[in-house]
Amino acid sequence: MLRSFKPAAMEADTGWPLRLQSLFVVLFGILVDSSLIGLIASGIERRVEELRMGRSEVLEEGHVLILGWSEGAPGLRRAGPGSPLPASTPTPA
């Protein structure tokens, strides 16, 4: 722990066994960090791909979704939010 806060503390270290041990600790730390970054990145990528495919749950309620724009659609927009659909407009199945 002292080496991470005060790098000058390594000055007194001599000998190859300690140097090799330090090298392996550093390489293992790089391996663990890169693996963790890879797991996080692949998880984010998978989630974004699911969102792009449209397989996410819809949490909103009380909205009107108009599929297929036609001449009658502007009347639905003018009706405003919360108003019932006009009786003359067929409800899609």
The residues spanned by each domain of the chain are 2-60
Quick one: tokens of 31? 């391996």
Over residues 55-76, mean pLDDT: 73
Contact between 50 and 56 (Cβ < 8 Å): yes
Q: How far apart are CA 22 and CA 8, in angstroms?
A: 14
Check residue 58 and give its pLDDT. Answer: 73
How many CB atoms are closer than 10 A to CB 79? Answer: 14
pLDDT higher at 71 or 1: 71
Contact between 32 and 38 (Cβ < 8 Å): no
Please measure the distance between the N-terminal and C-terminal CA atoms of the chain and give it in whole angstroms. 67
Question: pTM for the complete prediction?
Answer: 0.50
